[in-house]
């Protein structure tokens, strides 16, 4: 083994360990939100999943995936522009466009690749991209991979965003999460749309974590908008999607490198996502969203992502360990995922959680001194 590179890797790992930030995946085998976690002798209830409606194991979704595997195999075998497009891809894209009320949509292998594809393709050298400072890593990396000038505006600060746009004389784009993945707060869509109208800007809205609440489409009249999403969170499958005007979708199909040079989404996963959308758009989907909203209300949150900001990394790790000893898995979120000094427990709720499980978590947080019944503490 090359000694120079081995030493470099060893030094970097040692630095991570010294900072108390070493992480490693832990094998979790769940049934719903409860399952066996590597290193634990008792079952644990996870409050960390992005499977917000529990659709990953819905019978119709599982059945659709199984049937697709039998019929089409597990892989697409090529990129979409070669031989990788399957009938289910087209059917899923049409269903998503109908769901989002757009002319078309296009699938990507992951939500990460969707954001990189959009921003890398449309962020040309005469464009200004304005990005919220707490946007997801995929948006940050998409901005870096673009040729555009990038301006980062203060989180949810529309006055700051307005001042940036007013000083730019050229084409501009605003990109924002709709629900922010580590903070659980929501972007002011109406204000973003108003700024887009004022400055003739393109809006890229990442809706990955938006599950409960009215569709934002009614707020986007008169705005050029691309709605980015994932199939892995609300729908419990995997993959990414961009929905919007046909002209923009055609452009992405021809210039987005993460679309052109990636093997197409597995037909098994696409079939699962298609079944999940149909559940979502049914009366059963209404019931699942109501169950999720009930759980969110029980913890006093605004969305299904509820951060409990603790501060020091070691304190967040300790709190997570204490919850795990009580049978509840809420991983500590530490730098570089969040800024230094804002380490936290990120509670993620699902329709799968029973009201008793949510109350048990709330009582455990109370015992640890992390809960204030008038709202979440930020110790």
Assign 302 a pLDDT band (cuts: 50, 70, 90). very high
Listed in sequence order, the residues at least 6 apart from 378 whose beta carbon sits closer than 8 Å to its beta carbon are: 308, 309
Q: What is the CATH number of the domain that holds 63?
A: 3.40.640.10
Residue 174: per-residue pLDDT: 98
pLDDT digits (tens, 9 = 90+) for 22-34: 889 999 999 889 9
Q: Is the domain of 268 the same as that of 152?
A: yes
pLDDT digits (tens, 9 = 90+) for 318-370: 999 999 999 999 999 999 999 999 999 999 999 999 999 999 999 999 999 88
Percent of the chain at pLDDT > 90 equals 92
Q: Is the domain of 95 the same as that of 139?
A: yes
Lowest pLDDT segment from 24-38, 64-78, 110-124: 24-38
Q: Is the domain of 262 the same as that of 317?
A: no
Residue 374: per-residue pLDDT: 35
Q: Is the domain of 276 the same as that of 330?
A: no
Q: For 96-110, what is the mean pLDDT?
A: 98
Q: Is the domain of 181 the same as that of 324?
A: no
Q: How many domains does the chain have?
A: 2
Calculate the CA 64 to chain-centre distance.
24
Residue 379 in this model has a pLDDT that exceeds 60: no
Supply the mean pLDDT for the chain: 95
Looking at residue 263, the DSSP 8-state letter turns out to be B
* Residue range of the domain that includes 334: 34-52+304-376
CA separation for the pair 256, 116 (Å, rounded): 8
pLDDT digits (tens, 9 = 90+) for 192-203: 999 999 999 999
Residue 238 in this model has a pLDDT that exceeds 60: yes
pLDDT digits (tens, 9 = 90+) for 76-99: 999 999 999 999 999 999 999 999
CA separation for the pair 370, 47 (Å, rounded): 16
Q: Is the domain of 182 the same as that of 273?
A: yes
> What is the DSSP pairing of strand 171-177 with strand 225-230?
unpaired
**What pTM, to 2 d.p., does this model score?**
0.93
Q: What is the DSSP string of 176-232?
A: EESB-TTT--B--HHHHHHHHHHHT-EEEEE-TT--SS--GGGGGTT--EEEEEESS
């Amino acid at each position: 083994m090359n000694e120079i590179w081995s030493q470099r890797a060893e030094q970097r790992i040692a630095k991570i360990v010294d900072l108390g930030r070493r992480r490693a995946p832990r094998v979790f085998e769940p049934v719903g939100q409860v399952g066996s976690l590597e290193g634990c002798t008792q079952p644990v209830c996870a409050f960390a999943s992005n499977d917000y409606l529990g659709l990953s194991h819905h019978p119709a979704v599982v059945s659709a995936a199984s049937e697709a595997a039998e019929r089409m195999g597990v892989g697409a075998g090529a990129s979409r522009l070669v031989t990788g497009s399957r009938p289910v891809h087209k059917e899923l894209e049409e269903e998503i466009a109908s769901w989002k009320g757009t002319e078309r949509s296009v699938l990507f292998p992951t939500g990460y690749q969707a954001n990189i594809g959009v921003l890398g393709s449309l962020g040309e050298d005469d464009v200004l991209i304005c990005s919220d400072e707490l946007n997801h890593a995929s948006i940050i990396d998409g901005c870096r991979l673009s040729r555009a000038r990038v301006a980062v505006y203060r989180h949810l600060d529309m006055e700051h965003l307005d001042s940036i746009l007013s000083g730019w004389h050229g084409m501009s784009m605003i990109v924002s999460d709709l629900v922010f993945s580590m903070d659980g707060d929501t972007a002011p869509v109406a204000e973003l749309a108003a700024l887009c109208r004022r400055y003739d800007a393109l809006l890229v809205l990442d809706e990955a974590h938006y599950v409960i609440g009215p569709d934002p489409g009614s707020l986007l009249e008169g705005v050029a908008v691309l709605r980015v999403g994932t199939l892995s969170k609300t729908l419990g499958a995997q993959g990414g999607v961009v929905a919007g005007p046909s002209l923009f979708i055609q452009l992405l199909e021809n210039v987005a490198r993460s679309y052109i040079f990636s093997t197409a989404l597995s037909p098994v996963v696409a079939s699962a996502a298609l079944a999940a959308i149909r559940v979502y758009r049914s009366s059963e989907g209404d019931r699942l969203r109501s169950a999720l909203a009930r759980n969110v209300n029980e913890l006093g949150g605004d969305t299904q992502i509820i951060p409990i900001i603790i501060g020091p990394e070691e304190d967040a790790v300790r709190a997570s360990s204490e919850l795990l000893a009580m049978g509840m898995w809420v991983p500590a979120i530490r730098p570089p995922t969040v800024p230094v000094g804002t380490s936290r427990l990120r509670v993620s709720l699902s329709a799968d959680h029973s009201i008793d499980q949510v109350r048990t978590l709330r009582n455990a947080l109370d015992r640890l001194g992390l809960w204030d019944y008038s709202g979440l503490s930020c110790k």
